[in-house]
Amino acid sequence: MRQVQVARTAPRPLQSPRVPRLTIALALVALAVSCAASGTPTASRAQVAAPVSNRVDVYYFHRTIRCVTCLTFESYAHEALLADHAGDLASGRLTWSVLNYEDEANAELVDRYDVFESSLVVSSVRDSVEVAWEKLEAIWGLVSDRSAYIEYVSAEVDTARRVVAHGDIRQEEDTVPVHR
């Protein structure tokens, strides 16, 4: 009977194609920069004018840790603004801001709009003074219907534009100066 000897060596780890560590590091840095850039509060990556004194401000508030639904809220709202109000975004008559409501730097707005969860707020600003605002609560029920969500947001922005153009409709007794 023949005996077979089995070598007792440590198993070799699976080898992947050699990729220099510098290449991997650069790829990770590029990914981090692109992810950071995607969270900036801008109307779009295109050129955007400075806000004007008569305008509509749209704020999307989110937590530090974001779920798929929260990302969808932001995506659909931004899509509505770009699809139906791109000219106003470009001219500064409409602003778009994405803000972390857990960040102390945003505490004043969080308190003003009573934000405690992901929220979309549309603010009407006339002569640099906020004259009305609306927290769009219906986004929670519309998140599963993209077209209805986009239509709702666009209609609310249209309403806010009419408030800016035609009158001093106040949500509360006091108006709030808005500085940008």
pLDDT tens string 123-177: 999 999 999 999 999 999 999 999 999 999 999 999 999 999 987 554 444 444 4
Paired tokens of 1: 């009977």
pLDDT digits (tens, 9 = 90+) for 64-97: 999 999 999 999 999 999 999 999 999 999 999 9
CA 17 to chain centre: 38
Query: Tell me, what's the pLDDT at 114?
Result: 96
Query: Tell me, what's the pLDDT at 166?
Result: 86
Query: Tell me, what's the pLDDT at 110?
Result: 97
Quick check: pTM over 0.75? no
Q: Name the packing angle between helices 146-166 and 68-91 (round to 10°).
A: 40
Tell me how far apart the alpha carbons of residues 160 and 33 are, in angstroms, rounded to a whole number: 34
DSSP 179: -
Tell me how far apart the alpha carbons of residues 176 and 100 are, in angstroms, rounded to a whole number: 21
Q: What is the CATH number of domain 42-173?
A: 3.40.30.10
Tell me how far apart the alpha carbons of residues 159 and 89 are, in angstroms, rounded to a whole number: 16
Where are the domains positioned within the chain? 42-173
